[in-house]
Amino acid sequence: MDNYLIDREALGQFIDGLMKQKPLPANTPEDLNTLRENAIKELDDRLGLAIFGSLSEEQLNQINQLLDDPAATPEAFQQFFTSAGLDLQKIISDTMTAFGKEFLGGQNE
């Protein structure tokens, strides 16, 4: 497993799109790559925290049990979030929207 919760390529493309609008400050390609990677990592963290931060403690316990089950299928996770009344798609979209706004806004300030 990689050290990302979310599809890293997808996050990278999202960040790349932001960077095209507001380039990150870097003097070398290596610096730029580091900044990009940090942004990907931060977005990944935010998405993870937004997803699990939306759960109550009881729900956290429940999903931890599910995560501990090696036989848990993707469908089981989908079922969990549906039962929990959480719209994962919306959480993800919200988080990315907020991140994008902050990313671009932060560079304007």
Partner 1 sequence: MNNEFASFEKMPASTPDQPADKISAEQIEEIAVVGEQHDDTPRATYQERGAKAEAAAGNQPATESPEAPVAVQASETAPEELSAEEVQQSVLDEVLQAHEPIHSESQFTATENQNSLKDKIRETINKAKNTRGFKIVVAGLLVASIGLSLAACGGAHNASNNQEPTTAFEQTAVSGEQANGVSYDYRHYLDYENKDSKNAYDYSLVDRYGDRDATIDGIMDVAERNPEALASYAYQILNEEEKQELGIDGMNMTQIDDAMSNDENGGKLQKDILTELEEVLKDENSTRFDYYLENNFEETSYVYFIDDNNDGTATPEEMHIGYSTTKRDGAPQVNILRKANTADGKTVWVLAADINLKCGGQVNYSKGEFPEGVPKIDQDSPDPETTTKPTPETTTETTTQWGKSGDPHAGEDVTKSPPVDPNSQKSKEENDNTNKGNQGNSNTKPGSSSNNTDSNKKPSNPDRKSGGENQGGSSTNGNNSAPKGDESREQSGNESQRQAQEQNQTGGDNNTNSEEEQRVADGDF
Residues in 59-78 at the binding interface with partner 1, rule: CB under 8 A? 60, 63-64, 67-68, 72-74, 76-78
Q: Among 27, 83, 84, 85, which residue sits at the site for partner 1 (rule: CB under 8 A)? A: 27
Identity of the residue, 49 or 83, whose beta carbon is nearer to partner 1 in the bound complex: 49
85 binds partner 1 (CB under 8 A): no
> CA 95 → CA 25, 27, 33, 43, 48, distances in Å?
23, 29, 23, 8, 10
Q: Find the shortest distance in angstroms from Cβ 48 to partner 1.
A: 4
Q: Which residues contact 15 (CB under 8 A, 6 or more apart)?
A: 36, 39, 40, 43
Cβ(99)–Cβ(43) below 8 Å: yes
38 binds partner 1 (CB under 8 A): yes
Q: How many residues bind partner 1 (CB under 8 A)?
A: 76
